[in-house]
C-alpha cells in the first residue's frame, strides 16, 4: 500500500489544529484539512489563528512550515472535561445511572 505523502498529491498543503505545539511530540492533532494551493491554505490558517482559543494551528506544505501557538492549553479542571472523562468511565463500568450521578444529575426515579 502506497503511503499518502503531501508532496505527491493534488493537495500538497495542510492546515492542522493541535492541542499543543506540533513540535512537542504529542499525538494531539485535533483535525486537519488539505488544500490544493498555498493561498487557500493561508486563508484557512489565518481564519483559525483569529478564532483559536487554545492550542496551536500549523500550516505545512512544500517549502512552508508555520505554527501559531497560543501558549494556552485546555485545562481539564477548567473545562469540565475531567469530570466528563470520569463520568464516561463510571458509565462504562456501571451504566447510565453511574454516568448521570458522576455528572451531578438527579438519578432518582419517580414512582409510577
Q: Which residue has the higher pLDDT, 79 or 51?
A: 51
Q: What pTM was estimated for this model as a whole?
A: 0.57
Q: Which residue has the higher pLDDT, 67 or 78?
A: 67
| Integer-rounded Cα radius of gyration of the chain | 20
**Could you tell me the pLDDT band of residue 107, with boundaries at 50, 70 and 90?**
low
User: What is the strand order of the sheet 29-35 is part of?
Assistant: 29-35, 13-18, 56-61, 64-69
Q: Which residues contact 83 (CB under 8 A, 6 or more apart)?
A: 102, 103
pLDDT in tens, 69-81: 988 765 544 556 6
- If you average pLDDT over residues 1-23, what whole number do you get? 75
- If you average pLDDT over residues 23-44, what whole number do you get? 92
Amino acid at each position: 500500500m502506497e503511503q499518502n505523502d503531501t508532496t505527491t498529491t493534488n493537495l500538497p498543503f495542510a492546515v492542522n489544529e493541535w492541542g499543543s505545539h506540533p513540535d512537542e511530540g504529542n499525538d494531539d492533532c485535533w483535525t486537519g484539512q488539505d488544500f490544493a494551493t498555498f493561498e487557500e491554505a493561508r486563508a484557512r490558517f489565518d481564519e483559525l489563528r483569529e478564532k483559536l482559543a487554545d492550542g496551536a494551528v500549523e500550516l505545512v506544505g512544500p517549502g512552508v512550515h508555520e505554527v501559531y501557538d497560543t501558549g494556552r492549553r485546555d485545562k481539564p479542571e477548567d473545562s469540565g472535561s475531567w469530570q466528563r472523562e470520569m463520568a464516561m468511565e463510571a458509565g462504562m463500568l456501571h451504566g447510565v445511572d453511574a454516568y448521570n450521578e458522576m455528572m451531578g444529575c438527579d438519578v432518582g426515579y419517580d414512582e409510577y
